[in-house]
Amino acid sequence: MKINLTGVPVHDQAKALKFYTEILGFEKKEDVPMGEHRWLTVTSPEGADGVEFLLEPMGFPPAAEFYKALYDAGIPATSFGSDDIDAEYAKLKSLGVEFKSEPTVMGGAKIAIFDDTCGNYICLTQTL
């Protein structure tokens, strides 16, 4: 068994696509119109082959409430990995990404949490 697809709900798919591709460096994989929304996925050029990240519209009210509660509590919706979190942090800061925390050692990892501008905090993690 393997992971093919994961993702987060976003408030604005166009804004999310711009952030995830132009700022984070992911590549658009699928962009299929589905009524007022799109099946919109990105992939990481450094990630596992075939794994897609869905930028899902925040259309289901209970999910919207749950993700808002996560965001308001400062809890990341998901996590991305990095081989060099300090360099990634510096690069993303220079591109205007807002971080909730600087790279911090926590157990066997170093983490930094950033805002994806679309309703989610994302945890950037480097295994030590």
Domain boundaries, the chain: 5-127
CATH architecture for segment(s) 5-127: Roll (3.10)
Residues 43 and 52: beta-carbon distance below 8 Å: yes
Please determine, for residue 123, whether its predicted confidence score (pLDDT) is greater than 90. yes
The pLDDT tens digits for 68-104 are 999 999 999 999 999 999 999 999 999 999 999 999 9
Query: Which position has the higher pLDDT, 50 or 39?
Result: 39
Please name which of 64, 82, 79 lies closest in space to residue 119, comparing C-alpha atoms.
64
CA 94, CA 122: separation in Å to the nearest integer?
A: 17
* Per-residue pLDDT, 90: 98
DSSP 99: B
How far apart are the C-alpha atoms of 45 and 120, rounded to whole Å? 22
Q: What are phi and psi of 18, to 5 degrees?
A: -60, -45
pLDDT surpassing 90 at residue 50: no
Res. 54 pLDDT band, cuts 50 70 90: very high
Average pLDDT over residues 57-77: 95
